[in-house]
Amino acid sequence: MKRDKRDLVKNGAEFWDPNNIRRPLLRIYPNQINSKISKHFYLYEFLEGNDQELRKYCSQINGKFYQKYIRLDPLLIILLEKLRTKSGEAINITSGYRSYLYNIRMYNRMSERPKTLSRHCSGQAVDILNPSQKLRKVARKVFEDHGIGEGPTQLHIDVRNKRARWYYSGYTPK
């Protein structure tokens, strides 16, 4: 039986938006995954899905799984481009859009942290792997009115409508 898309986005469902930012859930087809969405970024960078239970909503290409659905806030792309241009450095996105239930499963595996109303589920956040000090410094300026979480090997940035700062365990800001 084919599921109605409305069943996937209702409160608590796989692709529910817990922050209710009213961005549509878009269907992505395999031939769109390699699409360039800005000067420096491709759609696939925001779509990777590693969760076994999420795979029914994924396309497999060259051994990697990419989600078939996404939300993406245009402001996030605009500010990521600004960050890339001002820093002059490549940005290694390790986590872009996450479905609501995938996010819960991920937090359950980490067990020491409670689940959140993640901005990833709203298409408003990315995590960057191994950011340089320069990239961190520029991110603090570019995302100064938004959310930034810093850890030893990662940088979380999001476009929530207010300033928020936090540090993951093991990180001391420089």
At residue 150, the 3 state secondary structure works out as strand
Q: Which residues pair with 129 in a beta bridge?
A: 154
Q: Any idea what the Cα angle at residue 142 is, between residues 125 and 158, rounded to 5°?
A: 15
How many whole angstroms separate alpha carbon 165 and alpha carbon 158?
11
Helices (H) and strands (E) counted in the chain, each on its own, are 4, 9
- Would you state the structure tokens that stand for residue 135, as one six-digit string? 């990239």
Residue 36 has what pLDDT? 97
How many whole angstroms separate alpha carbon 173 and alpha carbon 149?
11
Q: Do 34 and 59 contact (CB within 8 A), yes or no?
A: no
Residue 163 has what pLDDT? 98
Residue 32 has what pLDDT? 95
Kindly state the helix (H) or strand (E) to which residue 61 belongs, with its residue range.
strand 58-61
- Any idea how long the chain is? 174
- Would you state the structure tokens that stand for residue 5, as one six-digit string? 């898309």
Q: Which residues pair with 67 in a beta bridge?
A: 58
For the chain (length 174 residues), average pLDDT per consecutive 10?
70 92 93 96 89 82 89 97 97 93 83 76 96 97 98 96 92 78
Task: Give residues with Cβ within 8 angstroms of 52, minimum separation 6.
Answer: none
Residue 62 has what pLDDT? 86
Across the beta sheet with 164-167, the strand order is 93-95, 125-129, 154-158, 147-150, 164-167
At residue 32, the 3 state secondary structure works out as helix
Domain 5-167 has CATH 2.60.40: no
Query: What is the value of pTM for the model shown?
Result: 0.91
Residue 60 has what pLDDT? 85
